[in-house]
Amino acid sequence: DIDAAKITMEQLFEKFKEKKLPKMSVSSQGSLKAAFKHCKALHNKKYKEIRSFHMQDCIDNCGCKYSTQWAIKNLFGHLDKFALELDVINKAYSQLITAEPIPETTKQPFTDEEIQTLWENLSVEWVDSILIFIYSGFRISELLNMKTEQIELENGTFTGGVKTKSGKNRIVPIHSKILPLVKNRIETSNKYLFEYNEKRMCTSQYYTLWNNVMNALNMHHTPHECRHTFRSKLDSAGANKKCIDLMMGHKSKDVGERVYTHKTLEELKDAIELFN
């Protein structure tokens, strides 16, 4: 029950939040809400009067880098689609806007020599956590929030993950090389795989410990580069692409793989062991 001729961008976004936003991932919801704040100049403008140059001005003058620019572009794409459904507009001007190109990744995977150095320095506190990150492919938030009850030592699996539908509650085999490290962590923890002062560790606390290890071993990496290392090593070893996507919580780009290919736990275990 709307007046299509008079509905403003803000009113349209409020209806969008009610009807469409709850169906999206938490990260997407946050991104679109933040992008909306950068479009304050258009909030009270009738949506049917907004053209591509208005949208482009919001992107060009947001004062932020490519990630925010793409979030704004994405917002207008969603709002145009919603407005078309409601017969507010008959043309999607968001198709004509552009954002700053996404730069090439600067992430550097750990080298074989660096991984060997980590194994040789297990006596250094928290080195074991870095190896668990490297051999599991989990994001930092996923492992820091992982409870010991989510780990099945008998089956040799982690069950966890966040962020996307493909990433949530995914099963990742525990690589044989880190199994003793995981066992030791479980035996010395109360509730979470990684704890600090017997409590769940926050990201900032872990970054401090991470930086201590990097300085001690003269390395320069971020926790997310463990995830890059995991995918890179499996890819180089010839692991099945679908298995890699499943373990990392990625949605397969190939429709055939996404819809028709099913992998058993044993196949995932065979794939992860190729990382050697």
The band of 257, judged by pLDDT with boundaries at 50, 70 and 90, is very low
The pLDDT assigned to 261 comes to: 44
Q: Are 230 and 109 in contact (CB under 8 A)?
A: no
pLDDT top residue among 30 and 107 = 30
This prediction's pTM: 0.63
Q: How far is CA 91 from CA 83, 85, 192, 193, 248, in A?
A: 9, 11, 51, 52, 38
Cα 230 from chain centroid (whole Å): 15
- Tell me the pLDDT tens digit for each residue of 119-162: 999 999 999 999 999 999 999 989 999 999 999 999 999 998 76
Burial of 80 (0-12, 13-18, 19+ CB in 10 A): buried
* Mean pLDDT score, 84-93: 94
The pLDDT assigned to 249 comes to: 84
- Tell me the pLDDT tens digit for each residue of 173-224: 999 999 999 999 999 988 999 998 888 888 889 999 999 999 999 999 999 9
Which one-letter amino acid corresponds to residue 118? L
* Angle (nearest 5°) at CA 32 between 30 and 36: 115
CA neighbor of 47 nearest in space, from 17, 77, 79, 69: 79
- Tell me the pLDDT tens digit for each residue of 15-64: 999 999 999 888 789 999 999 999 999 999 999 999 999 999 999 999 98
